[in-house]
């Protein structure tokens, strides 16, 4: 019975990621090669540490790199030691959250890291937690661009 529940969760995750992949990346696919399974996916997402429960106070925005029905990868400015994250993606009807397991954290050089995530299940977040997350992310919107980057 547990196998059925796991399969149902994976099916829901794959449906969300496949839909997002289709909407955002269909223009990149060579129409003669419709079996491409991974595509570029550049969008701001929310990376929320997860240890028994999400820690919204440590949420931070990151850039996605690519996506497939089984997971996605992110570009971050710090390596990770976490085993799991909650990933928030803005959807057509509000934010959607995926509970993910870290597959790798690879240095890209110059202070950037690629974090490969396997999406395990869709995670339901209480509306009050979504508000707390939005307040946390507003802190990042207030940050000015460093002078050396503005020139």
Instruction: Give the predicted TM-score (pTM) of the model.
Output: 0.67
Mean pLDDT of 62-78: 86
Q: Which structural domain, as residue segments, surrounds residue 51?
A: 2-30+38-141
pLDDT above 80: residue 4:
no
Residue 24 has pLDDT above 70, yes or no: no
- Cβ pair 135, 127 in contact under 8 A: no
> What is the number of structural domains in the chain?
1
Taking residues 61-67, what's their average pLDDT?
Answer: 86
Residue 62, class by beta-carbon neighbours within 10 Å (0-12 exposed, 13-18 middle, 19+ buried)? buried
Q: Mean pLDDT for the chain?
A: 79
Handedness of CA 5, 10, 13, 19 (dihedral sign): negative
Residue 149 forms part of a structural domain: no
In angstroms, the CA 69 to CA 22 distance is: 10
Cα 32 to Cα 26, 29, 54, 58, distances in angstroms: 12, 8, 42, 43
- Segment 40-57 mean pLDDT: 86
Domain containing 94 — which CATH number?
A: 2.30.110
């Amino acid at each position: 019975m547990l196998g059925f529940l796991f399969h149902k969760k994976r099916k829901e995750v794959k449906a969300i990621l496949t839909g997002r992949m289709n909407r955002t990346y269909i223009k990149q696919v060579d129409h003669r090669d419709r079996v491409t399974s991974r595509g570029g996916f550049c969008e701001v997402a929310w990376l929320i540490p997860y240890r028994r429960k999400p820690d919204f106070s440590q949420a931070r925005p990151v850039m996605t790199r690519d996506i497939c029905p089984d997971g996605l990868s992110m570009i971050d400015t710090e390596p990770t030691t976490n085993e799991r994250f909650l990933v928030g993606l803005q959807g057509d009807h509000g934010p959607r959250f995926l509970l993910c397991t870290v597959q790798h954290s690879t240095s890209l050089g110059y202070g950037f890291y690629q974090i490969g995530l396997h999406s395990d299940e869709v995670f339901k977040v209480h509306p009050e937690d979504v508000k707390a997350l939005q307040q946390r992310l507003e802190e990042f919107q207030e940050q000015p661009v460093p002078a050396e980057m503005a020139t």
